[in-house]
Structure 1
Amino acid sequence: MSVAQEASTIPAPRTPAVRKKGSNLEKWGWIYMRASGVLLVVLIFGHLFVNLMTGEGIHQIDFAFVAGKLASPFWQWWDVLMLWLALIHGANGMRTIVNDYVTTPSVRRVLVWAIGLSAAFLILLGTLVVFTFDPCLGVTESSSLWEICQA
């Protein structure tokens, strides 16, 4: 083989590691990204349509509108499903980027754990906000919500 041919050939790819028995988490992560992406498109466009296209459009969005939506179990579950899917989808994407570009195993491990813990914390916090939301919490007689909250 001449020097010119050696320079123009593509080196052989790395030999793939032998896969252990058991579930293939990378495959399931890949499938999750596709399925959650499709579901998120439906959930997000449904959310945007209801909030921006129905009723008075963007002019209807205020505290009372959000309180009314979060009073309905349907919208609570819609928003929680959107929250969970989006956070897990994003965390899985960040995990993939870290696995692809961080070469030091200990740094990779710390970053993947940080991503997982932050996603878990935000999922927990967001779920608590959606299901425990009370628009009358802390309302006093001087508030514009006083009459509504007394009913």
Structure 2
Amino acid sequence: MAAGTPDLAAPREAYRRKKSTRTNYELYGWVFMRASGVVLLVLIFGHLFVNLMVGDGVHAIDFAFVGGKWTSPFWQVWDLLMLWLAMIHGTNGVRTIINDYAERDTTRLVLKLALYLAFTIVVVAGTLVIFTFSPCPVGADPSLLPSVCFS
């Protein structure tokens, strides 16, 4: 190589080394969004069909309906999957928007912390409600209780 001529191979080698150590986090997030979107469509439309079309429809939804539904482990798992997938899906989408539009690192950090805190509160509270819900509370009006409470 002649004196004063820049070595063009050195930057390419450095780029190749850097590129090979990168993770595919954003790719996995993109794939997750597509897969979870399809699963959420099935879960949400199944939920809407059972709650609005079967039986008396929307007029049947009350404490007894939810209490009777959540006595079944099938519906507990169904609603839990819907909650968790919707929250992870939505949080990942908002995280992407924050990354795209928040210009300062401090702003990005504060917004993501608020997002993750909201995610944690909703998921923990929702999970606790689904699994600790008592369809037969002591002292409740018997006309409001589901039929499973009288057996």
TM-score range, shorter chain: 0.7 to 0.9
The equivalent residue for 2:90 is 90
- The C-alpha deviation readout for 1:81-116, integer Å capped at 9, x for no partner, is 000000111111110110000010111012112211
The equivalent residue for 2:52 is 52
TM-score, with normalisation over the residues of structure 1?
0.79
Q: Equivalents in 1 of 2:80, 2:71: separation in Å?
A: 13
Q: 1:147 to 1:87 in 2, by over 3 A?
A: closer
Q: Equivalents in 2 of 1:40, 1:146: separation in Å?
A: 30
Q: Equivalents in 2 of 1:147, 1:117: separation in Å?
A: 35
Question: What do you get for the CA RMSD once the two structures are aligned?
Answer: 2.0
Q: How many residues of Structure 1 are paired with residues of Structure 2 in the alignment?
A: 132
**Structure 1 SS opposite 2:48:** helix
Q: Which structure: greater helix fraction?
A: 2
Report the Cα offset of residue 28 of structure 1: 0.9
Q: Equivalents in 1 of 2:146, 2:24: separation in Å?
A: 57
The equivalent residue for 2:23 is 23
Q: After superposing the two structures, state which structure 1 stretch, 85-94 or 111-120, moved more.
A: 111-120
**Structure 1 SS opposite 2:68:** helix
Bigger radius of gyration among the two: 2
The equivalent residue for 2:71 is 71
Q: Which amino acid aligns with 1:63?
A: F
The equivalent residue for 2:9 is none
Structure 1 unaligned blocks of 5 or more: 1-17
Determine what percentage of the aligned residue pairs are the same residue.
57
CA contact (8 A) 2:71 2:135 kept: no
- The C-alpha deviation readout for 1:36-70, integer Å capped at 9, x for no partner, is 10000000000000111111111211111100111
Q: Equivalents in 2 of 1:118, 1:46: separation in Å?
A: 26
Q: 1:77 to 1:91 in 2, by over 3 A?
A: same
The equivalent residue for 1:12 is none
Structure 2 unaligned blocks of 5 or more: 1-17
Q: Equivalents in 1 of 2:51, 2:67: separation in Å?
A: 13
CA contact (8 A) 1:140 1:146 kept: no
